[in-house]
Amino acid sequence: MMPQVLRRPVPLTSSQIMMLFAVLTGVALGLAPRFTTDLNATGGAKAVNPVQVETAARAYIGEWQPLTDPLVTLDNGILVKSSNVNGFEIDGDRYYYRPIYGFSADPLSRGQIKEYQVVLVVNAGTEWETEIYRVPG
């Protein structure tokens, strides 16, 4: 018989509660971003090579390379990697990444897009879980 592990619930912070409320309100009003996991949902777009996308995404997420991924300044003065704002390109397709549990300056996190396609999730189930997506069109 396996020993039972007791886990204490982790209380939500007020900012997490507000974020959850905003997302649920957006869903109820139809304002929340829509997404699909259909990799060919762009109407005949070429097939995605998930290994190639994951390899490229991990390089941008895990390292900062000042010569190829310089810092840019957001309107609020925060410095971020240009790849986090502008994404990265593979074979003519642009991909974006956004950490699920941390700050991100990607277009979805900044509210600039309403629809996106999840390509893959890296480090799933960890505090570094990151969604890789592209914008249809």
* Position 22 in a domain: no
User: What is the number of domains present in the chain?
Assistant: 1
Mean pLDDT of 29-51: 55
Tokens of 29: 């009003």
- Cα dihedral 15, 18, 24, 25, rounded to 10, equals -150
Which pLDDT belongs to residue 86? 96
Q: Higher-confidence residue: 55 or 45?
A: 55
Q: pLDDT band at residue 30, thresholds of 50, 70 and 90?
A: very low
Q: pLDDT band at residue 1, thresholds of 50, 70 and 90?
A: low
* Position 2 in a domain: no
Residues making up the chain, counted from first to last: 137
* Position 118 in a domain: yes
Write out the residue range of the structural domain in which residue 121 sits: 35-134
Q: What digits encode the pLDDT tens for the residues 67-76?
A: 999 999 999 9
Q: pLDDT band at residue 94, thresholds of 50, 70 and 90?
A: very high
- 3 state SS of 75: coil
* Position 10 in a domain: no
* Position 25 in a domain: no
Q: How much is the pTM? A: 0.67
| Structural contact between residues 28 and 21, judged by C-beta atoms closer than 8 angstroms | no
- Judged against a pLDDT cut of 70, whether residue 61 lies above it is answered with yes
* Position 113 in a domain: yes
Mean pLDDT, the chain, integer: 79
